[in-house]
Amino acid sequence: METNKLTGPPMTLAWFIWGLGALFYLAGFFQRVAPAVMTQELMQDFHISASGLGHLSGLYFYSYVAMQIPTGILADTLGPRKLLTAGCMVAGMGTLLFALSTQFFWAGLGRLLIGGSVAVAFVGLLKLSSSWFPKKIYAFVAGNALSIGLIGAVTAGPPLRFLLDTFAWRQVITTTGLMTLA
């Protein structure tokens, strides 16, 4: 008598769970590129020069780099679900802080929070992939994750510029913050 053994979660559920993590990775790439499209708006609202804008944009990368080693440790100790959930929450709050700030300090703190929190997205997504998918398609899933991230970067180009020409930058970024929280 043969028994049907469940060797893993149903693929539709695996792709759904993976898709949630991939959306967070997409949001991280979007946040990375977005200030380059909003240069005039940010310089005007925060009364900063190009070097100030570079500093504001760079805060994302400072915290992103600082989180690389802790991210691996956190992925192993907390697991991808808790890590990605916490990352999304902090990224959403950081995005809202950035969008609603009227002072450079608070906007910078928002960018710092965004960078540090989205730093967990790729490692968390890879950890998630190793748990939810068969080993034989792991490389395919990881490659798709990179593609999703690049879609986030592209979305922060002309599509974001179109939205900024239609709506105020704070409205657009607030919306992205709320979407990240959701």
What pLDDT was estimated at residue 1? 47
Cβ neighbours of residue 148 under 8 Å, at least 6 residues apart?
A: 22, 23, 25, 26
CATH number for the domain running over 17-181: 1.20.1250.20
Domain ranges (residues) in the chain: 17-181
Tell me the pLDDT band of 80, cut-offs 50, 70 and 90.
very high
| Mean pLDDT, residues 40-46 taken together | 96
41: number of Cβ within 10 Å = 16
| Mean pLDDT, residues 3-23 taken together | 82
- Record the pTM: 0.90
Structural tokens at position 141: 């899933």
User: Residue 119's closest CA among 28, 8, 2?
Assistant: 28
Q: What single-letter DSSP state applies at residue 165? A: H
| Mean pLDDT, residues 126-131 taken together | 92
